């Protein structure tokens, strides 16, 4: 492990909800919940005002509505989230060639590799400047952790939330980690945490005291050895620049175990459609279909089937997932289901046939599954002009705004922009010809000359 805190972990604060608050002046300082608004919807992100009320990500939307009935409930706008994410990642790449994104709003950076930092002082100054640049470019806040390893940098950024910076000095790691609960360590989920608790191990100090042999006996060789090393603050994992995706997958965890076999089958079909949508959004296809089932006792089964050629056909993926589910015993209940596709390629077998048809002058169509889940891409407006809550519109007379709600043939729009005061609300017929979907407006004006900012002067060469 290095001797200077030159690994940085950035985590944007309540990212989706913060974007929505920045874009919509009337929602600033209020509880905002982003996710699927249908009966199967789950929370993607909740603003800090909503978290105070007990709402958190992955919570069923129905439960969130009970906890926060007066919150604003919005459908995700992944286009703008990706655009802002790329702005943030561009700032990180200006610091180092070694940037490892974990999601749209989270990444590791090796500051030493980019000569942006080499000791505690330069690391802290770089972290402070990065947070200022992110605010200037996006209008949003991010929390920064700095440490000598990836594990500790991530723990530091969690401590920094929201809108802060925490630096863990090398040599202080063991004292810092010791009193923390075992769930702080990566890879310790509810099942492992409960298993350790039953063995009388609840803190990281107690993991270290138990010793490697006892952890191997409790958890198996690989998991036990890794957990013991982390408890001693040993983490040699390097920051790895962006890698090509090896698989695409989606999964859902259920608050209440599912016992009904019919519903389990329907959930698998829905997950297959979501997975295919992500495949197509990435311009990929795959040969191997994977089904993941975690049962009531936390035992996890993974089954796979390899096709003759790559596909992004939702019917093919659904049928393969259904076949994989058939022999799985789910009588005791299911806690989690997942569907994935691996063996990725940038073409499909169907593409080859389509090219042959086009060469022969035949027409082809591309029928994609409609979105059924909150974390899938927002669907295009149908001929019936479905207006999704939170999405952008423009009215020929009143200008830009966003959908506050719709139903019974009416759509309610609040007319405001990121730079305006909170706007007025007006209601229209859903087929009003003067009202059209619109592209999101930028949260802040362009700020030139920030990406690639040189390292702080006077702190090194």
The tens digit of pLDDT for each residue in 101-127 reads 988 899 999 999 999 999 999 999 999
Torsional class of 86: left (φ above 0), alpha (ψ -120 to 50), beta (otherwise): alpha
Please report, rounded to a whole number, the percentage of residues in the chain having pLDDT higher than 90: 63
- Catalytic residue annotation: 106
| Measured torsion, CA atoms of residues 44, 47, 51, 53, in degrees rounded to the nearest 10 | -110
CB atoms within 10 A of CB 24: 24
pLDDT class of 326 with cuts at 50, 70, 90: very high
Specify the higher pLDDT residue, 206 or 445. Answer: 206
Per the structure block, which two tokens stand in for 313? 């056909």
What is the model's pLDDT at position 384?
59
pLDDT surpassing 80 at residue 455? no
Which among 186, 183, 220 is positioned nearest to 203, based on CA atoms?
A: 183
DSSP string, 327-363: T---TT-EEEEEEEEEEEESS-HHHHHHHHHHHTT--
Please report, rounded to a whole number, the percentage of residues in the chain having pLDDT higher than 70: 87
- Decide: 398 and 426 in contact? Cβ < 8 Å: yes
Q: Tens digits of per-residue pLDDT, 86-105?
A: 999 999 999 999 999 988 89
pLDDT surpassing 70 at residue 354? no
Q: Tens digits of per-residue pLDDT, 242-298?
A: 666 678 899 988 878 899 999 999 999 999 999 999 888 877 888 899 999 998 887
- Residue that is written with structure tokens 């402070």 in the block: 128
pLDDT class of 458 with cuts at 50, 70, 90: very low
- Decide: 119 and 126 in contact? Cβ < 8 Å: no
Which burial class, exposed, middle or buried, applies to 326 when counting CB atoms under 10 A from its CB (0-12, 13-18, 19+)? exposed
Mean pLDDT of 414-430: 95
Q: 38 by DSSP, 3-state: which?
A: coil
What is the model's pLDDT at position 361?
34
- Decide: 109 and 99 in contact? Cβ < 8 Å: yes
pLDDT class of 426 with cuts at 50, 70, 90: very high
Q: Tens digits of per-residue pLDDT, 361-380?
A: 333 333 333 333 334 344 44
d(CA 154, CA 142): 13
Backbone torsions φ then ψ of 103, nearest 5 degrees: -165, -175
- Classify each residue of 46-65 as buried b or exposed e, where b means 16 or more C-beta atoms within 10 Å of its C-beta: bbbbbbebebebebbbeebb
Q: Which residues pair with 427 in a beta bridge?
A: 412
Cis peptide before 268 (omega within 30 of 0): no
- Decide: 86 and 94 in contact? Cβ < 8 Å: no
Q: Tens digits of per-residue pLDDT, 165-219?
A: 999 999 999 999 999 999 998 878 888 888 899 999 999 999 999 999 999 998 8
pLDDT surpassing 60 at residue 223? yes
d(CA 278, CA 337): 17
Backbone torsions φ then ψ of 424, nearest 5 degrees: -85, 155
């Amino acid at each position: 492990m290095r001797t200077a805190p030159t690994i940085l972990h950035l985590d944007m604060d309540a990212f989706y909800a913060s974007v929505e608050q920045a874009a919509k002046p009337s929602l600033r300082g209020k509880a905002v919940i982003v996710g699927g608004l249908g009966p199967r919807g789950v929370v993607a992100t909740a603003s800090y005002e909503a978290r105070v009320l007990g709402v958190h990500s992955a919570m069923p939307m129905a439960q969130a509505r009970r906890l926060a009935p007066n919150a604003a409930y919005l459908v995700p706008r992944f286009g703008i989230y990706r655009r802002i994410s790329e702005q943030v990642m561009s700032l990180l790449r200006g610091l180092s060639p070694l940037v490892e994104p974990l999601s749209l709003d989270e990444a590791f950076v090796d500051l030493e590799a980019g000569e942006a930092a080499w000791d505690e002082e330069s690391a802290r100054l770089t972290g402070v400047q990065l947070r200022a640049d992110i605010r200037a470019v996006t209008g949003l806040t991010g929390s920064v952790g700095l440490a000598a390893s990836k594990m500790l940098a991530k723990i530091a950024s969690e401590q920094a939330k929201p809108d802060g910076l925490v630096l863990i000095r090398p040599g202080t790691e063991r004292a810092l980690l010791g009193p923390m609960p075992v769930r702080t360590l990566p890879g310790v989920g509810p099942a492992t945490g409960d298993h350790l608790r039953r063995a009388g191990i609840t803190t990281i100090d107690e993991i270290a005291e138990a010793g490697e042999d006892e952890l191997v006996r409790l958890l198996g060789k690989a998991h036990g050895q890794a957990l013991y090393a982390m408890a001693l603050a040993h983490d040699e994992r390097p920051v790895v620049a962006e890698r090509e995706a090896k698989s695409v997958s989606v999964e859902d965890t259920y608050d209440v175990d599912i016992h009904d076999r019919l519903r389990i089958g329907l959930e698998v079909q829905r997950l297959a459609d979501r997975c295919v949508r992500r495949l197509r959004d990435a311009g990929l296809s795959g040969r191997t279909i994977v089904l993941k089932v975690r049962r009531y006792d936390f035992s996890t089964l993974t089954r796979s089937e390899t096709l003759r050629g790559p596909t992004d056909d939702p019917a093919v993926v659904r049928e393969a997932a259904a076949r994989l589910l058939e022999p799985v015993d789910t009588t005791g209940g299911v806690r989690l289901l997942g569907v994935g596709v691996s063996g990725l390629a940038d073409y499909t077998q169907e593409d080859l046939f389509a090219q042959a048809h086009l060469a022969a002058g035949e027409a082809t169509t591309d029928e994609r599954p409609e979105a059924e889940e909150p974390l899938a891409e927002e669907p295009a407006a149908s001929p019936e002009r479905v207006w999704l809550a939170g999405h952008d519109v423009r009215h020929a007379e009143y200008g830009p705004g966003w959908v506050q709600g719709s139903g019974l043939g009416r759509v309610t729009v609040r007319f405001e922009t990121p730079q305006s005061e909170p706007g007025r609300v007006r209601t229209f017929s859903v087929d009003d010809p003067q009202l059209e979907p619109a592209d999101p407006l930028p949260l802040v004006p362009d700020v030139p000359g920030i990406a690639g900012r040189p390292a702080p002067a006077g702190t090194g060469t």
